[in-house]
Amino acid sequence: MADLATDIQYIKGVGEARAKGMAKLGIQTLRDLVSFFPRAYEDRTVIKPISLAVPDETVCIRAMAAAAPRLSHIRKGLDLVKVRVVDEGGAMDITFFNQSFVKDAIKPGEVYVFYGKVAGTARRPEMTNPVFERETTRNVTGRIMPVYRLTAGLSQNILAGAARQGLEACGEALPDYLPEAVREGYKLAQARYAYENIHFPLSFEALEIARRRLIFEELFIISAAMGVIRKIRTVKPGRGLKDADMDVFYAALPFTLTGAQKRSIEQAVSDMKRPTPMNRLVQGDVGSGKTVVAAACCWFTWKSGCQSAFMAPTEILAEQHYRSLSALLEPLGIQVGLLTGSMTPKQKKTVQGQLRLGELDVIIGTHALLSEGVEFFDLALVVTDEQHRFGVGQRSALTAKGDSPHVLVMSATPIPRTLALIIYGDLDVSVIDELPPGRQKVETYTAGEKLRQRTYNFMRKLVGEGRQVYVVCPMVEESETADADLKSAQEYAARLQQEIFPDLRVALVHGRMKPKEKERVMSAFAAGQTDILVATTVIEVGVDVPNAALMVVENADRFGLSQLHQLRGRVGRGEHQSYCILFEGAGGEVSRERLKIMCSTNDGFKISEEDLKLRGPGDFFGSRQHGLPEMHIASLAADMDVLTTAQAAASEVLKADPALSRPANKAMKERIDTLFELRANTLN
Ligand code: ADP
Ligand code: MG
């Protein structure tokens, strides 16, 4: 019985060379080996008589070698072994390319099972390069076989063999992190059974039982880990704010809140009344109206005589929030200020002084809020917008400026709820799943080069009607192609202005501009002084110009779906019917399929779920940022219902044994501790 930390090169049948290849797949220890789950399975259970084998079907046949195999050298590098096999009702010719060992491996008169794809005709069936073994062994035929992810130098057989040896080597050491009571309570298989059957399922039912158990375990442990973090957090005392009649605030709004907005506000307010710091995520699709939720919280904080800080990721957004929040809050008697990096030292000093003395109630700003000179009179609420752009560290740098202030995080990235629950597992979540009334669907089309002239005509038509247009070019700031991307955006903007639309007003905004310059271009666009704005992705988040009714995206295949959805959210914000045209670029068939999802729905949650399925959680917005432990088996898109159950189970256990000190929970606790180590490493 081997320790799970054993290096795999000491596992029978692995050795140094194969261990190197397996390391590329992330397999280093015995634990990694048995947790390296197949990505798919091959059903080799069906054994058919030759007479019933249909061309193109992949099956097993059980047949006797009718004669000795014949080996022929066709030319250098090409050997053929041919053998005729027969069963009661038929005969089949089998060919092996470059597997000359078969000549001696197959003996006339012996019975074998061959697994492969049937070719030829129904009357003269053939098979090429089948898997085969003696009828008596049944290692690789007559059963369900695992299909693993591979890398150079490894084959399915090698990995399957290693997995088999690994399981054997583990013996009783196979970890069962689930407390017995949970396992029984939720009718889950034992670890041993689950590991055996995830690699070598006895049947598809057994595979399902194994999968369910392992998915549950993975999500259970992560949920419990998040529960532990939450516990640590709530131990810290915060400050309960005074109750206030929210109707007073609601009555001052220029519109009626949606039910989802009201619910989110009420959840946040009830958090803030408690003497533990709020830690809430407000998640809502673009245009769902998150800003007013933040405004309500600022108002509530002000009613207790305290200050709020609202941090946005860019100057453009900070200024926009400043405009909308001061319009909303100043009439109610609240002093709202702005602090950004591009303000003059003198302006900054003035604002800092007002903050320190409590003359400002609400401060909106960028990272500039984190700088040393910023001190508060009495900071009780921190709001961050577009959370994924801020590191965890930045959020806490701002909260450190108050005495355990309440925290409200707003995210427009419509993360599937599964992912949100895990990434923000230490946050409570409010979801705004309803758009304000009267929003129109943004009509979305994909287009190839053939439609370019028509698109230009359409742009001209809309501008003629008084609307404005965005043209977005991809540019990934930190990539190798960034310089070339920028150049092509510049050239494109120049061409649009000089050749296509000499009579219209075209402007360019990109991420390398000075903040001042950027702001100048953006506010000119917002003021309607520009007809067509060519932009790199700086306009991605939050920008609000209701008169813009068309967005054209160049090389749309270079964007993620969620990113496209964010971009598209820049139009359709006013009363005008709006459109989005996605130029396909050179992405080919797959990306065309992908882009079609954009045409079929405007629902950000659906889109991000598709995105997640296509790209996996690691890519979703960079695994470094969300600091998630790698998931071996659970699919965040598909295993939502298991997550809910696993979470309930985890919180039951934590409720009964908050420190996880009972012997029954020992294995679980150890597993969580390892996860914390992983998390600590990935978050830095
Ligand atoms: P996001 O969630 O994308 O940040 P915003 O808060 O910017 O959305 O709101 C988008 C637009 O919708 C703003 O112009 C805002 O004034 C408006 N809005 C928000 N809530 C409502 C509502 N309940 N009814 C009508 N308009 C609303
Ligand atoms: Mg917003």
What's the confidence (pLDDT) of residue 45? 87
Do residues 679 and 629 make contact, with C-beta atoms less than 8 angstroms apart?
A: yes
What's the confidence (pLDDT) of residue 680? 46
What's the confidence (pLDDT) of residue 477? 59
What's the confidence (pLDDT) of residue 8? 87
Residue 147 within any structural domain of the chain:
no
Task: Identify the CATH number of the domain in which residue 320 sits.
Answer: 3.40.50.300
**What mean pLDDT do residues 476-484 have?**
67
**What mean pLDDT do residues 575-600 have?**
84
What's the confidence (pLDDT) of residue 456? 96
Do residues 431 and 283 make contact, with C-beta atoms less than 8 angstroms apart?
A: yes
Q: How confident is the model at residue 624 (pLDDT cuts 50, 70, 90)?
A: very low
**What mean pLDDT do residues 6-21 have?**
85
pLDDT at 542 over 70: no
Q: At what angle do helices 259-273 and 291-303 cross, to 10 degrees?
A: 30
What's the confidence (pLDDT) of residue 540? 53
Do residues 567 and 506 make contact, with C-beta atoms less than 8 angstroms apart?
A: no
**What mean pLDDT do residues 151-180 have?**
87
Kindly report which listed range (313-322, 419-428, 507-516, 530-539) carries the lowest average pLDDT score: 419-428
Q: Helices (H) and strands (E) in the chain — how many of each?
A: 23, 23
Residue 619 within any structural domain of the chain:
no
Q: How confident is the model at residue 226 (pLDDT cuts 50, 70, 90)?
A: confident
Ligand 1 centroid, distance to 319 Cα (angstroms): 16
Residue with tokens 């039951």: 652
Ligand 1 centroid, distance to 256 Cα (angstroms): 11
| Mean pLDDT, the chain, integer | 86
Ligand in closest contact with the CA of 284: 1
User: Is any atom of ligand 1 closer than 6 Å to the C-beta of 402?
Assistant: no
Atom of ligand 1 nearest to the CA of 258: 23
User: Is any atom of ligand 1 closer than 6 Å to the C-beta of 264?
Assistant: no
Ligand in closest contact with the CA of 310: 2
Atom of ligand 1 nearest to the CA of 438: 25
User: Is any atom of ligand 1 closer than 6 Å to the C-beta of 226?
Assistant: no
User: Exposure of 563 by Cβ count < 10 A (0-12 exposed, 13-18 middle, 19+ buried)?
Assistant: buried
pTM for the predicted model, two decimal places? 0.63
Among 544, 568, 601, where does a domain finish?
A: 601
577 and 485 fall within a common domain: yes
Give whichever of 354-363, 419-428, 623-632 has the largest mean pLDDT: 354-363
Ligand in closest contact with the CA of 262: 1
Taking CA atoms only, the protein residue closest to ligand 1 atom 24 is 436
User: Exposure of 450 by Cβ count < 10 A (0-12 exposed, 13-18 middle, 19+ buried)?
Assistant: exposed
User: Is any atom of ligand 1 closer than 6 Å to the C-beta of 258?
Assistant: yes
Ligand in closest contact with the CA of 294: 1
Residue with tokens 């084998």: 53
What's the confidence (pLDDT) of residue 234? 62
256 and 378 fall within a common domain: yes
252 and 361 fall within a common domain: yes
pLDDT at 305 over 70: yes
Ligand 2 centroid, distance to 541 Cα (angstroms): 7
Residue 14 within any structural domain of the chain:
no
| Percent of the chain surpassing pLDDT 70 | 87
Residue 448 corresponds to which tokens in the numbers above? 């190839």
Residue with tokens 């012996």: 110
Instruction: Tell me the C-alpha distance between 161 and 14, whole Å.
Output: 9
Ligand in closest contact with the CA of 288: 1
User: Is any atom of ligand 1 closer than 6 Å to the C-beta of 436?
Assistant: yes
Tell me how many degrees the CA angle 251-254-255 measures, rounded to the nearest 5: 85
Higher pLDDT, 591 or 183: 183
Ligand in closest contact with the CA of 325: 1
Q: Which of 51, 121, 57 is nearest to 86 (CA)?
A: 51
User: Exposure of 582 by Cβ count < 10 A (0-12 exposed, 13-18 middle, 19+ buried)?
Assistant: buried
Do residues 379 and 355 make contact, with C-beta atoms less than 8 angstroms apart?
A: no
Q: How confident is the model at residue 617 (pLDDT cuts 50, 70, 90)?
A: very low
Q: Which long-range contacts (CB under 8 A, 24 or more apart) does 2-8 make?
A: 2/30, 2/169, 2/170, 2/171, 2/173, 3/30, 3/173, 4/29, 4/30, 4/31, 4/34, 4/170, 4/173, 4/175, 5/29, 5/30, 5/31, 6/30, 6/169, 8/32, 8/33, 8/162, 8/166
Q: How confident is the model at residue 240 (pLDDT cuts 50, 70, 90)?
A: very high
What's the confidence (pLDDT) of residue 6? 86
DSSP state of 7: B
For a ligand 1 pocket test, name from 257, 292, 297, 324 the mutation site with the most ligand atoms within 8 angstroms of its C-beta: 292
351 and 465 fall within a common domain: no
What's the confidence (pLDDT) of residue 162? 92
**Could you read off the pLDDT of 379-431 as tens digits, one per residue?**
999 999 865 556 556 667 788 888 889 999 888 766 666 666 666 666 788 88
Higher pLDDT, 15 or 163: 163
Ligand 2 centroid, distance to 321 Cα (angstroms): 8
71 and 134 fall within a common domain: yes
**What mean pLDDT do residues 73-94 have?**
92
User: Is any atom of ligand 1 closer than 6 Å to the C-beta of 425?
Assistant: no
Instruction: Tell me the C-alpha distance between 77 and 680, whole Å.
Output: 53
Residue 386 corresponds to which tokens in the numbers above? 């577009």
Do residues 216 and 645 make contact, with C-beta atoms less than 8 angstroms apart?
A: yes
Task: Identify the CATH number of the domain in which residue 92 sits.
Answer: 2.40.50.140
**Could you read off the pLDDT of 433-477 as tens digits, one per residue?**
888 887 778 999 999 888 999 999 999 999 999 999 999 998 765
For a ligand 1 pocket test, name from 249, 250, 291, 570 the mutation site with the most ligand atoms within 8 angstroms of its C-beta: 291
User: Is any atom of ligand 1 closer than 6 Å to the C-beta of 544?
Assistant: yes
Instruction: Tell me the C-alpha distance between 626 and 415, whole Å.
Output: 12
Do residues 531 and 500 make contact, with C-beta atoms less than 8 angstroms apart?
A: no
Higher pLDDT, 84 or 572: 84
Ligand 1 centroid, distance to 140 Cα (angstroms): 60
Residue 390 within any structural domain of the chain:
yes
pLDDT at 322 over 50: yes
**What mean pLDDT do residues 561-578 have?**
86
Please give the full DSSP string across 62-73, using - where no structure is assigned.
EEEE-S--EEEE
Instruction: Tell me the C-alpha distance between 674 and 544, whole Å.
Output: 44
Give whichever of 349-353, 372-376, 443-447, 655-659 has the largest mean pLDDT: 349-353
309 and 396 fall within a common domain: yes
407 and 454 fall within a common domain: no
381 and 486 fall within a common domain: no
Domain that holds residue 595: 443-601
User: Is any atom of ligand 1 closer than 6 Å to the C-beta of 287?
Assistant: yes
Among 93, 122, 142, where does a domain finish?
A: 142
**What mean pLDDT do residues 261-265 have?**
97
Atom of ligand 1 nearest to the CA of 288: 2
User: Is any atom of ligand 1 closer than 6 Å to the C-beta of 283?
Assistant: no
Instruction: Tell me the C-alpha distance between 509 and 112, whole Å.
Output: 69
What's the confidence (pLDDT) of residue 619? 42
What are residue 309's DSSP bridge partners? 363, 382
Ligand 1 centroid, distance to 316 Cα (angstroms): 17
Please give the full DSSP string across 350-401, using - where no structure is assigned.
HHHHHHHHT--SEEEESGGGGSTT---SSEEEEEEESGGGS-HHHHHHHHTT
Ligand 1 centroid, distance to 287 Cα (angstroms): 5
The identity of residue 33, as a single letter, is L
Among 117, 142, 167, where does a domain finish?
A: 142
Taking CA atoms only, the protein residue closest to ligand 1 atom 4 is 290
Ligand 1 centroid, distance to 292 Cα (angstroms): 7
What's the confidence (pLDDT) of residue 676? 64
Residue 232 within any structural domain of the chain:
no
Ligand in closest contact with the CA of 414: 1
Taking CA atoms only, the protein residue closest to ligand 1 atom 20 is 289
User: Is any atom of ligand 1 closer than 6 Å to the C-beta of 291?
Assistant: yes
Helices (H), 410-481: 417-423, 452-464
Higher pLDDT, 350 or 73: 350
Count CA atoms closer than 13 A to 314's CA, side-chain side.
22
Taking CA atoms only, the protein residue closest to ligand 1 atom 5 is 289
Taking CA atoms only, the protein residue closest to ligand 1 atom 17 is 289
Kindly report which listed range (61-65, 183-187, 593-597) carries the lowest average pLDDT score: 593-597
In this structure, which residues have their CB less than 5 angstroms from ion ligand 2?
A: 542
Tell me how many degrees the CA angle 403-426-364 measures, rounded to the nearest 5: 50
User: Is any atom of ligand 1 closer than 6 Å to the C-beta of 311?
Assistant: no
Atom of ligand 1 nearest to the CA of 432: 2
User: Is any atom of ligand 1 closer than 6 Å to the C-beta of 295?
Assistant: no
Instruction: Compute the chain's Rg from CA coordinates.
Output: 31
590 and 499 fall within a common domain: yes
454 and 388 fall within a common domain: no
Instruction: Tell me the C-alpha distance between 576 and 563, whole Å.
Output: 23
347 and 461 fall within a common domain: no
pLDDT at 682 over 60: no
Ligand 2 centroid, distance to 313 Cα (angstroms): 11
**Could you read off the pLDDT of 90-149 as tens digits, one per residue?**
999 999 999 889 999 999 999 999 999 999 988 899 999 999 999 887 778 888 999 998
Taking CA atoms only, the protein residue closest to ligand 1 atom 23 is 257
Sort strands 58-65 and 78-86 into parallel, antiparallel or unpaired: antiparallel
504 and 376 fall within a common domain: no
Helices (H), 400-451: 417-423
Residue 109 corresponds to which tokens in the numbers above? 């008169």
Ligand in closest contact with the CA of 387: 2
User: Is any atom of ligand 1 closer than 6 Å to the C-beta of 412?
Assistant: yes
Do residues 21 and 153 make contact, with C-beta atoms less than 8 angstroms apart?
A: yes
Q: How confident is the model at residue 294 (pLDDT cuts 50, 70, 90)?
A: very high
Residue 648 corresponds to which tokens in the numbers above? 């309930």
What domain count does the chain have? 3
Residue 499 within any structural domain of the chain:
yes
What's the confidence (pLDDT) of residue 200? 93
Count CA atoms closer than 13 A to 563's CA, side-chain side.
22
